[in-house]
């Protein structure tokens, strides 16, 4: 069976190799869906950061990438999910320069700038879920 | 995937060919830092022309690489950052501060030639 490139893709994220695979898949889908090369780079970069957060903070999780249609707009939706420790203070985590890992602290606010929609739900019992979309122009 | 490192006179040139994992990037950083000593190189060029994503880890590792090479007494220049990669980096808030960049390999070599001339003779390069 040949898988349709426009089907939803679900990828397990466990290591740095998966980070590369996730962003490549996102890039492929952006090409298939007719996104500009430049927007494809933004999507791939956002996926890379989201997958990196999973590996860094939760060790394991999942990235799903799917085409979406909302109100006549076509886009790529990226969902990053993990069952890690959750983010204690989301407001703080969304500030540039804030990091609990000694990193640059640009991950989440950066992803929000790269994409068009951004939603985060996190708590210490069920982990973190980031849902983000980029619309095709 | 290993990044091939070419020796060109007193410079080392690493051409990043494909999508690199974090581990590959760290290996590249360590290999270049090591080989600067082995070959007594004066400069290092990291060519990222074919890199389509530069995320926070890649950015920090390249920055660390340049600082480590500096401590070893050589200069580093990153060349070939593509326009869309530059755009994504700026959106993400990434900066390659204190790291020299140049348009392409040719400009990178030119930069190192000026830098090493300056180091050897204490001449201020023409601006």
Tell me, yes or no, if B54 comes closer than 8 A to chain A by beta carbon.
yes
Q: What's the confidence (pLDDT) of residue A101?
A: 63
User: Is-contact B75 B42, C-beta < 8 A?
Assistant: yes
Listed residue (A88, A69, A81) closest to A119, CA to CA: A81
- Per-residue confidence (pLDDT) for residue B113, from 0 to 100: 95
Backbone angles phi and psi of B18, in degrees to 5: -145, -170
- Identify the CA nearest to A53 among candidates A21, A8, A7, A85: A85
Task: With CB atoms and an 8 Å threshold, state whether B84 touches A41.
Answer: yes
The pLDDT mean for chain B works out to: 92
Rounded Cα gap, residues B94 and B87, in angstroms: 10
Q: What is the pLDDT of residue A126?
A: 86
Q: What are the backbone dihedrals phi and psi of residue A60, each rounded to the nearest 5 degrees, phi first? A: -130, 155
Q: What per-residue confidence (pLDDT) applies to A86?
A: 85
Report the chain A residue with the minimal C-alpha distance to residue B84. Answer: A38
Beta strand ranges found along chain B (DSSP E): 5-8, 11-15, 43-47, 75-79, 100-102
* pLDDT number for residue A103: 57
Global pTM?
0.89
A20-54 pLDDT, tens per residue? 999 999 999 999 999 999 999 999 999 999 999 99
Would the pLDDT of B123 be above 90?
A: no
Walk along chain A (137 residues) in steps of 10 and give the mean pLDDT of each run: 70 96 96 95 96 92 96 96 86 74 68 95 89 97
- Average pLDDT over chain A reads 89
Q: What would the pLDDT profile of B80-105 be if each residue is shown by its tens digit?
A: 999 999 999 999 888 888 899 999 99
The whole-angstrom distance between A30's CA and the closest CA on chain B is: 13
Helix (H, G, I), strand (E, B) or coil at B95: coil
Tell if the CB–CB gap between B94 and A110 is shorter than 8 Å. yes
What would the mean pLDDT of B34-48 be, rounded to a whole number?
97
Task: Give pLDDT tens digits for B57-66.
Answer: 999 999 999 9
pLDDT at B125: 57
pLDDT band at B45 (very low <50, low <70, confident <90, very high): very high
């Amino acid at each position: 069976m040949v898988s349709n490139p426009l089907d939803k893709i679900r990828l397990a994220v466990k290591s740095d190799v998966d980070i590369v695979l996730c962003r490549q898949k996102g890039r492929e889908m952006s090409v298939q869906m007719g996104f500009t090369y430049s927007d494809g780079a933004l999507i791939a970069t956002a996926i890379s950061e989201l997958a990196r957060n999973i590996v860094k903070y939760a060790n394991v999780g999942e990235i799903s990438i799917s085409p979406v249609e909302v109100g006549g707009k076509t886009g790529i939706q990226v969902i990053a999910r993990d069952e890690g420790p959750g983010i204690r203070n989301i407001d703080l985590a969304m500030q540039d320069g804030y990091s609990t890992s000694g990193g640059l602290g640009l991950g989440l606010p950066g992803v929000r700038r790269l994409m068009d929609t951004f939603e985060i739900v996190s708590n210490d019992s069920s982990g973190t879920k980031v849902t983000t979309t980029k619309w095709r122009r | 995937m290993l990044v091939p490192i070419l020796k060109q006179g007193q410079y080392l040139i690493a051409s990043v060919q494909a999508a690199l994992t974090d581990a590959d990037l760290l290996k590249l950083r360590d290999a270049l830092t090591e080989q600067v000593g082995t070959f007594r190189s004066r400069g290092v060029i990291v060519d990222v022309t074919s890199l389509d994503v530069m995320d926070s880890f890649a950015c920090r590792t390249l920055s660390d690489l340049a600082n480590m090479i500096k401590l070893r007494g050589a200069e580093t220049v990153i060349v070939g950052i593509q326009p869309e990669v530059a755009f994504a980096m700026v959106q993400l808030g990434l900066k390659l501060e204190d790291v020299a960049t140049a348009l392409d390999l040719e400009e990178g070599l030119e930069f190192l030639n000026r830098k090493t001339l300056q180091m050897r003779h204490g001449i201020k390069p023409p601006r």
